[in-house]
């Protein structure tokens, strides 16, 4: 499945898709909407951080001499973003696990395992 930039779970409308595939009730849909919003916000921040790190890399190269401090700062920003995304994703998966019934968790795991959903 081709994943568009910024799409959560690798599908265009993850809430609608998951509500249908997992047969979510209204309360579960509301909880999942909140979780997906948190992920969306974090991914948007990571895109901002990525642009900033690219600017730092460019600045490191653009001067008379190579600016290792700027390059290091850009690299550290990328690592910090990756760590934040990992933590947010793990927290989100834990919240999703808690709100789903066992049969729904099994279906979600299958969708992820088979590549229908990409994290």
Average pLDDT over every residue of 106-112: 95
Task: Tell me the two tokens of residue 28.
Answer: 């579960």
Question: What's the rounded Cα separation, in Å, for the pair 15 and 61?
Answer: 42
Residue, of 44 and 3, whose pLDDT is higher:
44
Residue 76 has pLDDT above 60, yes or no: yes
Residue 8 has pLDDT above 60, yes or no: no
What pLDDT, in 10s, does the model give residues 50-63?
999 999 999 999 99
pLDDT at residue number 14: 86
pTM for the complete prediction? 0.80
Task: Give the residue from 20, 35, 7 showing the smallest Cα distance to 119.
Answer: 7
Average pLDDT over every residue of 73-100: 96
Q: How far is CA 113 from CA 15, 105, 107, 109, 110, in A?
A: 19, 12, 10, 6, 5
């Amino acid at each position: 499945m081709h994943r568009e930039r910024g799409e959560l779970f690798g599908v265009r409308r993850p809430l609608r898709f998951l509500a249908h595939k997992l047969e979510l009730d209204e309360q579960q849909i509301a909880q999942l909407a909140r979780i997906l919003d948190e992920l969306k916000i974090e991914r948007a921040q990571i895109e901002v951080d990525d642009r900033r790190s690219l600017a730092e890399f460019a600045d490191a190269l653009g001067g008379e001499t190579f600016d290792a401090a700027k390059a290091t700062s850009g690299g550290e920003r990328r690592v910090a973003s990756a760590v934040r995304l990992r933590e947010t994703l793990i927290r989100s998966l834990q919240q999703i696990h808690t709100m789903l019934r066992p049969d729904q968790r099994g279906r979600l795991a299958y969708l992820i395992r088979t590549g229908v959903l990409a994290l």
